[in-house]
């Protein structure tokens, strides 16, 4: 399935090698490495300005929308994290690492053991083994906050409850960058969309198609 995907924000899988001594995948090379390493590097983080960060958020949203709504059966990534998002020389984002991805089969119960990365896993995964696209939506919300804050937000519910309705952007945005000006409205909108994605109830979270449409307004 992955070798057939040709979406501009998903790392291309060209093929694989299966040998008694070696097994490896042949994937598209993305120059700058993963998002987590860029956010932790002072020099690269400064070059990763607000316009690039907003564009990357849209890139990832578009990739997940494609996986959830344009691929049949839909593919649930299950491990959307800053380490599994790669950036090229122009800071364009690519979703990678489908090692624990699952296809949602209409004739299957789609139950699975808990999988993913701590800090990005949707809360319902702790009490149910049902795999749904809303798991990726939650993880995406965490990544959006991480991109804008320059670091992982930590405990999501505690972070959310610590903010009031009139919080200032300066309270949460990456302080290594100057306050956004031309991108201020887009940054605010990204935060609003992220909070929608982080709604504790999966039924109340938007689908990725709605998320991408909101980010494209």
Instruction: Tell me if residue 97 is catalytic.
Output: no
- Cα–Cα distance measured from residue 147 to residue 55, given in angstroms and rounded to the nearest whole number: 11
Can you tell me which residue has the tokens 């790669």? 86
**Encoded tokens for 108:** 């299957």
138 in Cβ contact with 76 (< 8 Å): no
Gap between the Cα atoms of 160 and 204, Å rounded: 16
Q: Which residue is catalytic, options 79, 97, 136, 174?
A: 79
81: nearest Cα among 119, 108, 131? 119
Closest CA to 131 of 103, 107, 156: 103
Active site residues: 79
């Amino acid at each position: 399935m992955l070798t057939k995907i040709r979406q501009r924000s998903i790392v291309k899988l060209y093929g694989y090698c299966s040998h008694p001594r070696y097994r490896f995948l042949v994937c598209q090379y993305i120059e700058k490495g993963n998002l987590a390493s860029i956010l932790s590097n002072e020099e690269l983080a400064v070059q990763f300005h607000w316009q690039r960060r907003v564009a990357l958020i849209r890139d990832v949203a578009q990739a997940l929308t494609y996986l959830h709504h344009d691929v049949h059966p839909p593919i649930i990534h299950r491990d959307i994290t800053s380490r599994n998002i790669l950036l090229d020389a122009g800071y364009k984002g690519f979703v990678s690492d489908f090692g624990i991805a699952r296809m949602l089969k209409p004739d299957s119960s789609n139950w699975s053991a808990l999988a993913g990365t701590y800090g990005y896993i949707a809360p319902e995964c702790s009490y149910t083994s049902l795999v749904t696209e809303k798991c990726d939506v939650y993880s995406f919300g965490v990544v959006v906050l991480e991109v804008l804050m320059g670091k992982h937000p930590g405990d999501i519910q505690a972070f959310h409850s610590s903010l009031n309705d009139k919080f200032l952007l300066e309270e949460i945005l990456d302080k290594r960058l100057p306050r956004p000006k031309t991108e201020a409205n887009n940054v605010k909108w990204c935060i609003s969309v992220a909070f929608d994605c982080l709604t504790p109830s999966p039924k109340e979270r938007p689908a990725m198609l709605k998320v991408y449409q909101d980010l494209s307004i």
